């Protein structure tokens, strides 16, 4: 089932990554090359200096891991070279729609549009030269567009390899983010999982003997969430970038997708330079420019309050997810502290503390295959019943309040005073 290799790329995480002709053509396209200029972890390099790896590195790694997963299951089911190639290409393109500063731009998209980076990935695959490359090789751009975001109608296991709770995406970014930040939590044995994957009723399943490796991934993702992805100083850096982009969105036309080619100019360096040099002719643009300039000098906002809650039930929308709630809270704090409302930032996670699927849902169960002298059987096990990870499944809500150094004491006092009132506590207990 091995695909024909035309080149190799040396990767610090996986070693040599072999690529095919169509993969090389897609990699050389301007939309994929643009990912070289998008940091994988946005502002994390402000805390972890080594975290300067890019989305380009990650998509190559995800493609490699997806190929290993496809080849592993090909030993047990009929999976021809065409499907293996489709899976690898989908993994290569799964993040092609990420904007400047990766997931930070997702926050701007959520505020200003009804789009996600997955929507933009699909647009790029269908409406750019990526489509032409795929079609020239006889590959359906519509199929790859759906598969790269986990929306292919069938078979389900192909979606799950690319965008499921046990995906190539997760297995690469945990290893890669751990390697470049120097944080040890993400070092998991992905090859034990890859070699133990099976297909049950067209879904990914895992041999019971490798359950410990899957548990390690969930625990690693949880610990990386706390240590890196939602580290309070990392988020201080990121908050400043998000607010700067949001305030300057109209002036810089960051969410203008009338022409998909406009997206090629949205890289970290270009957008940051434009933010730093804004023609600040309105109060909003003056704030946006100041935030970018302060970020450039590492004059970061300071966290003055933090409240952590672990929730099992995600069926009811969190009040923290409502931008109006966060705006009202910032306004109340600013009034109480007698500071400018624009200098108070209320922050909550936009990503869950456990891996999730393209639908933003956490994986709820795992199919386990058991093997004994009589043959193989399988069962579906709820994730929260796994002994080692049951206590961390769900979503970690972290409410933080930030402000500039000069306002730190006043805002901290106002927040603690407000949190001491029953009315305020009732509002955040919804």
For the cut 60, the answer to whether the pLDDT of residue 425 exceeds it is: no
Q: From the CB of residue 332, how many other CB atoms can be counted at a distance below 10 Å?
A: 18
* Alpha carbon distances (Å) from 303 to 177, 232, 259, 404: 24, 7, 39, 9
- Identify the CATH assignment for 7-300+354-393 out of 1.20.58.60, 1.10.20.10, 1.10.3210.10, 3.40.190.10: 1.10.3210.10
- Binned at pLDDT 50, 70 and 90, residue 374 comes out as confident
For the cut 90, the answer to whether the pLDDT of residue 28 exceeds it is: yes
Pick from 95, 49, 37, 112: nearest CA to 270: 37
Pick from 118, 100, 101, 106: nearest CA to 41: 101
Instruction: Say what the pLDDT of residue 430 is.
Output: 39
Q: From the CB of residue 87, how many other CB atoms can be counted at a distance below 10 Å?
A: 28
Instruction: Dump pLDDT digits (tens) for 52-67.
Output: 999 999 999 999 999 9
Instruction: Dump pLDDT digits (tens) for 93-103.
Output: 999 999 999 99
Helix (H, G, I), strand (E, B) or coil at 312: coil
- What is this structure's pTM? 0.91
Which DSSP state fits 420?
T
Helix (H, G, I), strand (E, B) or coil at 226: helix
Q: Mean pLDDT over all residues of the chain?
A: 89
- The span from the CA of 298 to the CA of 57, in Å, is 26
Instruction: Say what the pLDDT of residue 192 is.
Output: 96
Q: Which residues on adjacent β-strands are paired with residue 9?
A: 17
**CB-based contact 157:199 (threshold 8 Å):** yes
* Alpha carbon distances (Å) from 254 to 30, 103, 171, 347, 396: 18, 14, 31, 22, 30
Q: From the CB of residue 234, how many other CB atoms can be counted at a distance below 10 Å?
A: 23
What is the domain partition of the chain in residue ranges?
Answer: 7-300+354-393
Instruction: Dump pLDDT digits (tens) for 218-264.
Output: 889 888 988 999 999 999 999 999 999 999 999 999 999 889 999 99
Instruction: Dump pLDDT digits (tens) for 286-340.
Output: 999 999 999 999 999 999 999 876 655 544 345 455 677 788 889 999 999 999 9
Instruction: Say what the pLDDT of residue 357 is.
Output: 45
């Amino acid at each position: 089932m091995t695909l024909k290799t035309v080149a190799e790329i040396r990767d610090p995480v996986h070693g040599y990554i072999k690529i095919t002709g169509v993969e090389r053509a897609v990699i050389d396209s301007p939309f994929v090359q643009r990912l070289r200029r998008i940091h994988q972890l946005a502002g994390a390099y402000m805390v972890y200096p080594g975290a300067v790896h890019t989305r380009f590195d990650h998509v190559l790694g995800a493609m490699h891991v997806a190929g290993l997963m496809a080849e592993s299951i090909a030993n047990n089911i009929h999976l021809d070279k065409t499907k293996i190639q489709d899976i690898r290409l989908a993994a290569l393109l799964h993040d092609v729609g990420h904007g400047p500063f990766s997931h930070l731009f997702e926050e701007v998209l959520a505020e200003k549009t009804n789009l996600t980076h997955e929507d933009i990935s699909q647009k790029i695959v269908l409406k750019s030269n990526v489509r032409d490359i795929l079609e020239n090789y006889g590959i359906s751009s519509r199929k790859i567009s759906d598969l790269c975001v986990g929306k292919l109608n069938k078979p389900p296991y192909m979606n799950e390899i690319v965008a499921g709770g046990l995906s190539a995406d997760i297995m690469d970014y945990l290893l890669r983010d751990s390697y470049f930040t120097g944080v040890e939590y993400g070092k998991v044995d992905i090859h034990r999982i890859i070699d133990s994957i099976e297909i049950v009723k067209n879904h990914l399943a895992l041999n019971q003997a490798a359950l410990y490796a899957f548990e390690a991934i969930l625990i690693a993702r949880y610990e990386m969430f706390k240590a890196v992805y939602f580290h309070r100083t990392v988020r201080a850096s990121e908050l400043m970038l998000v607010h700067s982009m949001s305030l300057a969105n109209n002036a810089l036309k960051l969410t203008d997708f009338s022409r998909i080619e406009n997206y090629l100019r949205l890289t970290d360096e270009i957008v940051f330079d434009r933010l730093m040099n804004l023609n600040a002719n309105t109060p909003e643009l003056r704030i946006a420019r100041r935030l970018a300039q302060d970020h450039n000098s590492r004059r970061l906002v300071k966290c003055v309050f933090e409240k952590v809650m672990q929730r099992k039930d995600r069926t009811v929308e969190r009040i923290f997810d409502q931008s109006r709630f966060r705006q009202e809270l910032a306004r109340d704090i600013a009034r109480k502290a007698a500071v400018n409302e624009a200098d108070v930032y209320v922050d909550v996670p936009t990503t869950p503390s456990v891996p999730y699927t393209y639908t933003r849902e956490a994986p709820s169960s795992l199919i386990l295959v058991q093997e004994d002298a009589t043959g193989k059987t399988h069962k579906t096990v709820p994730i929260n019943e796994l002994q080692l990870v049951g206590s961390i499944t769900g979503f970690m809500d972290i409410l933080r309040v930030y402000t500039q150094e000069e306002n730190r004491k006043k805002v901290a006092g106002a927040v603690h005073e407000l949190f001491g009132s029953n009315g305020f506590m009732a509002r955040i207990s919804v």
